[in-house]
Structure 1
Amino acid sequence: MNKFKVTLLVAGVLSALAGCSNTTNNNELKQSAVTTQATQNANQQLNTLVEQYFVESLQFSPLFATYIGYSQYDNQFIAPISEQNRATQQAFYKDYQQRLASINKQQLTGQALLSYEILERDLALTIEGFQFPSYLLPIDQMSGAHNDFAGLGSAQSAQPFETFQDYENFISRAQGFVTWLSSVQEAMRQGIEQGIVLPKALAEKLLPQFQAHIVTSAEQSLFYSPIKQLPANFSAEQKQQLTKQYSALIMEQLVPAYAKMSEFLATTYIPNSRETVGYSDLPNGKAWYEYQIKQNTTLSLSADEIHEIGLKEVSRILNEMKTVKETVGFKGDLSEFFTHLRDSDEFYFDTPEQLIAAYEAVKLKIDARVPKLFNIVPKADYIVKAVEDFRAESAAGASYQSPAPDGSRPGIFYINTFNLKAQPKFLLETLSIHEAAPGHHFQIALQQEVESLPEFRKFGGYTVFAEGWALYAESLGKELGLFTDPYMWYGRLSDEQLRAMRLVLDTGFHAKGWTRQQGIDYMLANSSMALSDVTAEVERYIAWPGQALSYKLGQFKIQELRDYCKQVLGDKFDIKEFHTQILIDGALPMPILEAKIKRWVEKQQ
């Protein structure tokens, strides 16, 4: 109900009772009107503040702005790394923290209250993070604006190449990239001086990512792709001008920038990178890792607690894998079964095309069964696509990219076809559930489509919520009528085992002094994963401390909430409505999600 309607309603009630001699009732009604007005004012204050916050915060994330359709940032790149720019950001967040505190939280209701709680937590955590020198580790083999930039410039991502201005915008963005990349090199040089550098194994993986863009002619460059698909409605003069501009951009600015960075990595950074892998080996590394745990999981758990949870889960899942081994009649031990699954050609596809086609077929099967457990589905569809060649070697086995908010681009379920032996057939169902429906695609696309959510929540998120939901979604497979083949069920266990091992390895690397090889050996001993996949996973956990903890811990919390709801509501429990309640308000920190679900349960009783 909007403010105008509520005001009319209160005025009508007061008018109808104007002749009543009961002044107590009149006073109560007047007080109620005052309270209602105060709530409306507070809610409006909050909604205005969060919208301003989101729009103004995009200045620090212009690439993100492009991904979500804010085209006014299409010509900008991330600001260079500098002390002044860090101070500007910190001042921005502190200012909004003070402005938020000026709003009376006690007068907030509904979505406004949730937004307050979320932003209050986010701002405090962001400001806390400024004490750690993450700017000295600005890129790694898994992530960084250098890879985002290449994707945008390929004309296969969110950067638009439809109008003449679109093409001009990318030239400006590319010039900003060159400036940013120079600041990255300087920050990494400072990191060498302060002993805050990437482990050598990760630094070495960076080098080919930059060398790939050193070409001898513009036509060989990934960044020439937009020229190869110039719109037919461009005039001959426009086409000639853009071809000349892009050729010059590539050969005179981009190639020299990539060459300079490659030389720096090869001659300076890699020789000075470290042999150790954990954050605990960095200055103030223990506190830094504890912050990463809190940031990624939103939970108050220590590294030791998480490590023990992981060890128990790995053991439990191994026992379930033994049951599958016996079900399919394999005569050897579990280690031999793992080898059989790794090495037997029957479990793998012969071509990338077969792999993609198989996932497209699974998509149709799952889409038909989702209504059994859900009463809401996203309007946006998703497609299955191979990971681009330029990033395939270092990319994860699968990933998801959200659809364009305006519906102009579907979601993308990326499958890495770089090594077919890292993509077994028995993972088809569980990986599709996780990355697409009803996993990431459902959660992220729905979040973008909920009209009542403020923008900072619609396009924000929490790893523990997103990945926890996707892993929880995998657990719904049997309820959806999937996993009827024992090998497909093994695929589910294999995926769950991967997430359980992450609890052990992430904490092992960053809190317990584990080596890279120790992590590889542990994963090979407890799974049937290919060595190439294991290596990429291990190096991912080393690069992203705390991120890999979110999957299992998030799943545990969502399953815990489902069990709570079933226990309290009994016959009133509706699984479809439970899923709606989990998803309908977008991603939430786990403590806020738990409080929200328990309030919902109270209303059902």
Structure 2
Amino acid sequence: MLNRRSLLAGASALTATAGALSACAAAGTKPSIAVGEPDLSEGGRLKKTFEDIFELYLEVKPVSATDTGLDTGERARLKSRLNMAAPADREKDKAFYRVALNQLKDIDRKNLSGMDRINYDTIVWDYTETLKGYGAAPYGEPQDYWGPYSVTQLTGSYQTTPDMLENRHTIATKTDAEAYLSRLEAYATVIAQETEAVKTKAAKGVIAPDFALKKAVTQLKGLLAVAPAETNLVTSFDSRLKDKGIADAKMSAQALKLVSGPVYQAMQAQVAALEAVLPRATHDAGVWHIPGGDEHYAFAAGYNTSTTFTPEEIHKIGLEKVKEINAELETVMAKLGMTKGTPAERMKAMSKDPKFIFENTDAGKDKLLAHLNAQIGVVQAKLPAYFKTLPKSAVTVRRVPKATELGAPGGYYWPPSLDGSRPGAYYINLRDTAEVPTWTLPTLTYHEAIPGHHMQISIQQENKNLPMLRQMGIFNAYVEGWALYAEEVAAKDMGMYDDDPYGRIGYLHDAMFRACRLVVDTGMHYKRWTREQAMAFMDANTGEDNETEIERYAVWPGQALGYMIGKIKWLELRAKMQAKLGAKFDIREFHDTGLVAGAVPLAVLETVYNEWAATV
């Protein structure tokens, strides 16, 4: 059983494991990951290797165990730990990927077949590119989207940890509560480590743009403005203790003491560090302005699209798509008698029309959330005609937390637990309902929930034929490309806009938005556009300057490229399979093949479909 002292034991075990891995890698010897009995087949060796790599991954990234609901039983000790952010932790991460990759390469790919080969190619690509990423980001640890900055309006544990503790760290017993307190204590340490990273990187000239730092400071100060006893870190803890009948005054007092003391002190120090760096920050949005920035972006573009497209090629694709979608908008709008001004100007006028906007009050926002749930119900009923395998997990609609909505994107998705006990969550940013007029909501729902992210990720997680490493896998161009492709399936196959012409404009607006991303992301990071140039391009083509989105691309270079590049690949493969199979082509089987295979790099996705077509 766990107690708060287990944190120290777990940390020691991880240090020992990482030390052994580092020594092994440095010596060039065989990795220490077990591969099972000598008489196992190559496929059996691969399965055992995947299992061992997965367990070691959870040791290095214990929050992943909580995110997926796997922090129980023998893994319960992971529940009291966080992913730490010191330089030594970066080295542990690198050692893990080196050792895991070497172990996989010890398996003869030629003796693998079917999904074993797909699984092998997927993880080898991922870990190979991840190690390249460390070389392309020599000034700091790679973030989830390979952003170079440790703390911004979108990055940093001040953003991510509170949500995890409130919504994914389950509390059913006093042991769970003790683990929560251990994590609160570690939370202060992680914030301090990230603050040191900000200082270290600043000394090397790696400083986030001024607008990103200013918003981070604003958000941190907003968190600090709340009395510790009123923070979700304390109130959600206390309420869950009461709900489970395990209320404990000493533990509640300890939570308050940790938040009001170490956590708030670490946040205050982080604010001070960011404010100290701000005078040296420039307004340059692209990573070209930091040392090694061009190298970093070339990597980020390839990693996030899982293609060999250059930034120049992606920029041109974006411009072509913008032109194509503008023409389609003209056609749809003309049928509604909307002919005055450019398509963007017409959409801007629609955005300001009160008939499309929910009241910007708590009651209005509740009504908006109910509206979204109703949309999910409508599309759910149509799924069986287009999809063979359907998700078992439910999806809920939630507001982006008020404390972080200022810098957060308009919507995003969080997957369910692997055991299905926690549903998937579709988050929508309701800082201002005017930002989400009704004609934009259907497409957002189809993207974030079904048939988009929730469907794809749930089916992947529920496919127990996939190794755990694959069930948890995320490849940006596949995942975001699918969600964007799903928008088109809803529009053009499922007929979701047949009686909703304004919703169809919303669908085209979002397609335009993703096409513009290709232009502005490469514009800022490759062609050295300013933040204002990028906003102006967005405004000219979508009717919105998308300040928050542009600032997102600035600190997550390349991530926004995966959406449209991925969608183009899904559509390309669909057309290719239709041409190859003719009358044998079945849309349900096409979707099932890609979804059941799970997230893969785009080159591997092509292999999946080529092998499928050969069996039809």
Normalized against structure 1, the TM-score is what? Answer: 0.89
Deviates more, 1:87-96 or 1:215-224: 215-224
How far apart, CA to CA, are the structure 2 residues paired with 1:217 and 1:527? 40
User: Cα deviation per residue 1:55-99 (whole Å; 9 max; x = unaligned)?
Assistant: 1012222222211112222110122321x3333322222222222
CA positional deviation for 1:217 = 4.2
How far apart, CA to CA, are the structure 1 residues paired with 2:228 and 2:469? 39
How far apart, CA to CA, are the structure 2 residues paired with 1:69 and 1:342? 40
Q: Report the equivalent of 2:592.
A: 580
Q: Retained in 2: the 8 A contact 1:519–1:538?
A: yes
Q: Retained in 1: the 8 A contact 2:424–2:454?
A: yes
CA positional deviation for 1:40 = 6.0
Q: Retained in 2: the 8 A contact 1:164–1:234?
A: no
Q: Report the equivalent of 2:502.
A: 487
How far apart, CA to CA, are the structure 2 residues paired with 1:340 and 1:366? 28
User: Cα deviation per residue 1:222-258 (whole Å; 9 max; x = unaligned)?
Assistant: 21121134235546xx521112211211212111111
Q: Retained in 1: the 8 A contact 2:184–2:259?
A: no
How far apart, CA to CA, are the structure 2 residues paired with 1:215 and 1:428? 33
Q: Report the equivalent of 2:90.
A: 86
How far apart, CA to CA, are the structure 2 residues paired with 1:250 and 1:573? 58
Structure 2 unaligned residues grouped into runs of 5+: 1-36, 142-147
Deviates more, 1:216-225 or 1:248-257: 216-225
Structure 2 counterpart of 1:201, one-letter code:
F
In structure 2, do the counterparts of structure 1 residues 567 and 468 end up closer, same or farther at CA, with 3 Å as the change threshold?
Answer: same
Q: Retained in 2: the 8 A contact 1:38–1:107?
A: no
CA positional deviation for 1:169 = 0.7
Q: Retained in 1: the 8 A contact 2:140–2:201?
A: no
How far apart, CA to CA, are the structure 2 residues paired with 1:542 and 1:110? 40
Correspondences of 1:452-531 after superposition (within 5 Å): 452-477=465-490, 478-484=492-498, 485-529=500-544, 531=545
How far apart, CA to CA, are the structure 1 residues paired with 2:93 and 2:600? 24
User: Cα deviation per residue 1:160-201 (whole Å; 9 max; x = unaligned)?
Assistant: 122111111111112112112112111111111111110111
Q: Report the equivalent of 2:33.
A: none
Q: Quick check: 1:173 aligned with 2:183? A: yes
Q: Retained in 2: the 8 A contact 1:450–1:584?
A: yes
Correspondences of 1:96-495 after superposition (within 5 Å): 96-131=100-135, 132=137, 133-135=139-141, 137-153=149-165, 155=166, 157-215=167-225, 217-225=227-235, 226-232=237-243, 234=245, 239-266=248-275, 268-334=276-342, 335-350=344-359, 351-477=364-490, 478-484=492-498, 485-495=500-510
CA positional deviation for 1:451 = 0.9
How far apart, CA to CA, are the structure 2 residues paired with 1:204 and 1:230? 37
Q: Report the equivalent of 2:52.
A: 52
How far apart, CA to CA, are the structure 2 residues paired with 1:145 and 1:60? 17
Q: Retained in 1: the 8 A contact 2:156–2:194?
A: no
How far apart, CA to CA, are the structure 1 residues paired with 2:517 and 2:67? 29
CA positional deviation for 1:38 = 11
Structure 1 counterpart of 2:414, one-letter code:
Q
Q: Report the equivalent of 1:22.
A: none
Structure 1 counterpart of 2:129, one-letter code:
L
User: Counterpart of 1:380 in 2: which secondary structure?
Assistant: coil
Structure 2 counterpart of 1:134, one-letter code:
G
In structure 2, do the counterparts of structure 1 residues 562 and 217 end up closer, same or farther at CA, with 3 Å as the change threshold?
Answer: closer
Between structure 1 and structure 2, the one with the greater Rg is: 1
Q: Retained in 2: the 8 A contact 1:162–1:231?
A: no
How far apart, CA to CA, are the structure 1 residues paired with 2:102 and 2:265? 45
In structure 2, do the counterparts of structure 1 residues 270 and 103 end up closer, same or farther at CA, with 3 Å as the change threshold?
Answer: same
Q: Retained in 1: the 8 A contact 2:597–2:608?
A: no
Correspondences of 1:535-574 after superposition (within 5 Å): 535-574=547-586
How far apart, CA to CA, are the structure 1 residues paired with 2:571 and 2:295? 30
CA positional deviation for 1:558 = 0.8
Structure 1 counterpart of 2:289, one-letter code:
D
Q: Retained in 1: the 8 A contact 2:447–2:483?
A: yes
Identity of aligned residues (%): 30
How far apart, CA to CA, are the structure 1 residues paired with 2:368 and 2:326? 27
User: Counterpart of 2:413 in 1: which secondary structure?
Assistant: strand
Q: Retained in 2: the 8 A contact 1:474–1:492?
A: yes
Q: Retained in 1: the 8 A contact 2:46–2:107?
A: yes
Q: Report the equivalent of 1:64.
A: 64
How far apart, CA to CA, are the structure 2 residues paired with 1:174 and 1:64? 17
How far apart, CA to CA, are the structure 1 residues paired with 2:399 and 2:469? 30
Q: Retained in 1: the 8 A contact 2:396–2:425?
A: yes
Q: Report the equivalent of 1:16.
A: none
User: Cα deviation per residue 1:541-592 (whole Å; 9 max; x = unaligned)?
Assistant: 1111110000001001111110011001100000000000010111011001
Structure 2 counterpart of 1:76, one-letter code:
R
Structure 2 counterpart of 1:127, one-letter code:
L
How far apart, CA to CA, are the structure 2 residues paired with 1:38 and 1:327? 69
How far apart, CA to CA, are the structure 2 residues paired with 1:55 and 1:589? 23
In structure 2, do the counterparts of structure 1 residues 439 and 173 end up closer, same or farther at CA, with 3 Å as the change threshold?
Answer: same
How far apart, CA to CA, are the structure 2 residues paired with 1:549 and 1:459? 22
User: Cα deviation per residue 1:105-124 (whole Å; 9 max; x = unaligned)?
Assistant: 11112222112111221221
Query: Size of the alignment, in residue pairs?
Result: 559
How far apart, CA to CA, are the structure 2 residues paired with 1:159 and 1:192? 33
How far apart, CA to CA, are the structure 2 residues paired with 1:567 and 1:503? 28
Q: Retained in 2: the 8 A contact 1:215–1:255?
A: no
How far apart, CA to CA, are the structure 2 residues paired with 1:311 and 1:262? 40
How far apart, CA to CA, are the structure 1 residues paired with 2:609 and 2:543? 37
CA positional deviation for 1:271 = 1.9
User: Counterpart of 1:134 in 2: which secondary structure?
Assistant: coil
In structure 2, do the counterparts of structure 1 residues 39 and 594 end up closer, same or farther at CA, with 3 Å as the change threshold?
Answer: farther
Q: Retained in 1: the 8 A contact 2:67–2:164?
A: no
CA positional deviation for 1:519 = 0.7
Q: Retained in 1: the 8 A contact 2:70–2:418?
A: no
